[in-house]
Chains A and B, each alone.
Chain A
Amino acid sequence: MTFNWMAWTTPTATFFIVIFCMLVGMTIWEIKCPGGAPRQSILHFETTRGDRLFVSLLGSAYIHIIWLALFASLSLWWAFAIACVYALCVFRWV
Chain B
Amino acid sequence: MIEKQINQKAWFMVLPVFLLVAFSAIIPLMTVVNYSVQDTFGNNQFFWVGMDWFRELIHSERFHDAFLRQIMFSGIILSIEIPLGIVIALAMPKEGWGVPVCLISMALPLLIPWNVVGTIWQIFGRVDIGLLGHSLAALGIDYNYTQEPIAAWLTIIAMDVWHWTSLVVLLSYAGLCSIPDAYYQAAKIDGASRLSVFRYIQLPKMQRVLLIAVLLRFMDSFMIYTEPFVITGGGPGNSTTFMSIDLVKMAIGQFDLGPAAAMSLIYFLVILLLCWIFYTIMSNVGEESSNGGV
Chain A interface (Cβ < 8 Å from any Cβ of B): 4-9, 11-12, 15-16, 44-45, 54, 58, 61-62, 65, 68-69, 72, 76
Given the interface pairs A6-B31, A68-B51, the reply to whether A12 lies near B269 with Cβ below 8 Å is no
Determine if B33 and A12 form an interchain contact, defined as CB atoms under 8 angstroms apart.
Answer: yes
Q: What's the dominant secondary structure at chain B's contact region?
A: helix
Query: Which chain B positions have C-beta within 8 A of A4?
Result: 44
Is B273 among interface residues, defined by CB-CB distance under 8 A?
Answer: yes
Query: Which chain A positions have C-beta within 8 A of B276?
Result: 54, 58
Query: Which chain B positions have C-beta within 8 A of A12?
Result: 30, 33-34, 37
Q: How many residues of B contact A (CB 8 A)?
A: 24
Provide the bound-state CA to CA distance between A54 and B275, in Å: 13
Stretch binding the partner chain, chosen from B54-62, B124-132, B167-175:
B54-62
Provide the bound-state CA to CA distance between A8 and B31, in Å: 8
Determine if A9 and B38 form an interchain contact, defined as CB atoms under 8 angstroms apart.
Answer: yes
Determine if A72 and B59 form an interchain contact, defined as CB atoms under 8 angstroms apart.
Answer: yes
Is B196 among interface residues, defined by CB-CB distance under 8 A?
Answer: no
Closest to B33 in A: A12
Provide the bound-state CA to CA distance between A15 and B38, in Å: 15
Query: Which chain B positions have C-beta within 8 A of A65?
Result: 54, 58, 266, 269
Given the interface pairs A65-B54, A76-B51, the reply to whether A9 lies near B284 with Cβ below 8 Å is no
- Chain B nearest CB from A90 CB (Å) reads 13
Query: Which chain B positions have C-beta within 8 A of A58?
Result: 269, 272-273, 276
Query: Which chain B positions have C-beta within 8 A of A15?
Result: 33
Determine if B54 and A7 form an interchain contact, defined as CB atoms under 8 angstroms apart.
Answer: no
Determine if A7 and B38 form an interchain contact, defined as CB atoms under 8 angstroms apart.
Answer: yes
Is B67 among interface residues, defined by CB-CB distance under 8 A?
Answer: no
- Interchain Cβ contacts under 8 Å between A and B, 26 examples: A4-B44, A5-B31, A5-B44, A6-B30, A7-B34, A7-B44, A7-B46, A8-B34, A9-B46, A9-B48, A11-B37, A12-B30, A12-B37, A15-B33, A44-B284, A58-B272, A58-B273, A62-B269, A62-B273, A65-B54, A65-B266, A65-B269, A68-B54, A68-B58, A69-B58, A69-B59
Determine if A61 and B37 form an interchain contact, defined as CB atoms under 8 angstroms apart.
Answer: no
Shortest 7 CB-CB contacts between residues of A and residues of B: A7-B34, A69-B58, A45-B284, A7-B46, A6-B31, A12-B34, A72-B55
A interface footprint on B265-281 (CB within 8 Å = 1, 0 otherwise): 01001001100100010
Provide the bound-state CA to CA distance between A12 and B33, in Å: 7
- Chain B nearest CB from A82 CB (Å) reads 16
